[in-house]
Amino acid sequence: YGRLFLFGATSGGALGLVLSVLSAAIPVLDDIGLQLDWEQYFTWIWSQANLVYLVVPALLALWLLTALGMVVKYGGFTLTRSGDRLQMVYGLLQRRQISIPVKRIQAVRLVEGVLRQPLGYASIYVESAGYRQKDREKTLLWPMARQGELASLLEEFLPEFAGEKEIALQPLPAKARRRYILRGFIPALVLTLPALVWLPRWEPALILPLLGGLWGLWVYRSAGWGLQDNLLAVRSRSLARTTFIVSNRKVQSFSVRSSPWQRRAGLLSFNLDLASQASFGLAGIYNEDAETLTNWFISRQQQPIASSTPSKSCPSGM
């Protein structure tokens, strides 16, 4: 259960709960007479030692309860493959069972959260045709797996999405770096203008464009793609780093496009649509790479249909 606890402690829900409490405290401080001056906030909070001793343990307790909630929800997690069906059973207080036909699985998503990636962990999801977007949490295939375990788990339970070896990803061209940085810098710069009026001091507002540019660089360095036979892997990030693995037989449509700036740089963007209504792609690949991906998509008609896989079962060990 250690991994499940880590899964809960590093989830967006746990962090979001703590941040929500902190954000709710700001209007309260305004009500008691403190204006929006961060130096004044910290001075006041530091002077209220007893309040700090109460609030910090309370926030830690909320985080702990959220993590324990994940342990209760996913405790006893077991994944089984029987023929052409995957079955997940989990839950300590209420046992839940989910069964997914393998033929309806359109893609695999490997998600590395901001807190999980440095620890070397990722969660495995599946995109299934017929499952609504709001039911996506039901497609969790494996809560927490080490990076080194991902390939073996896919080989064991979803060999249709596992290559003979790990798919090597190639980074985006250096020409695309500037565009990614500007994609983060410009919106942050726009937000800075009203912040200069709203904040009593202008110095903190200048941090926003810097953070936006660094975020764009982070997104650029995280992105990549790779091909292996009929499989395509596409990696991107907003905050969590996400890697999609899809077979060309599962792609409903493939498109490429370019903006005037991209055409001058000899770059293109591509996008794939699946039957599950999922869509993903990358911006800033070379024209010849787009041609390679187009040929990969066209070749799906020549791919033989994979045979069934015998029954397998594995508890999570978490």
pLDDT value at 52 more than 70: no
Count Cβ atoms within 10 A of the Cβ of residue 217 and give its class: 0-12 exposed, 13-18 middle, 19 or more buried: middle
Alpha helix locations (H) across the chain?
2-9, 12-31, 38-47, 49-74, 150-157, 177-198, 207-222, 260-265, 287-298
Q: How confident is the model at residue 180 (pLDDT cuts 50, 70, 90)?
A: very high
| pLDDT-derived band at 48, boundaries 50, 70, 90 | low
Within 8 A by CB and 6+ apart from 71, the residues are 1, 4, 5, 8, 92
Q: Give the number of other CB atoms < 10 A from CB of residue 7.
A: 25
pLDDT at 182: 94
pLDDT in tens, 256-294: 999 888 888 899 999 999 988 889 999 999 999 999 999
> What integer is the mean pLDDT of 144-171?
90
Residues whose CB falls within 8 Å of the CB of residue 175, separated by 6 or more in sequence, listed in order: 265, 266, 267, 284
Cα torsion angle, 179, 185, 189, 195, sign: positive
Q: Give the position of tokens 């830690």.
A: 60
User: Per-residue confidence at 186, pLDDT binned at 50, 70, 90?
Assistant: very high
Percent of the chain predicted with pLDDT > 90: 43
- Write out the two tokens for 136: 């996506």
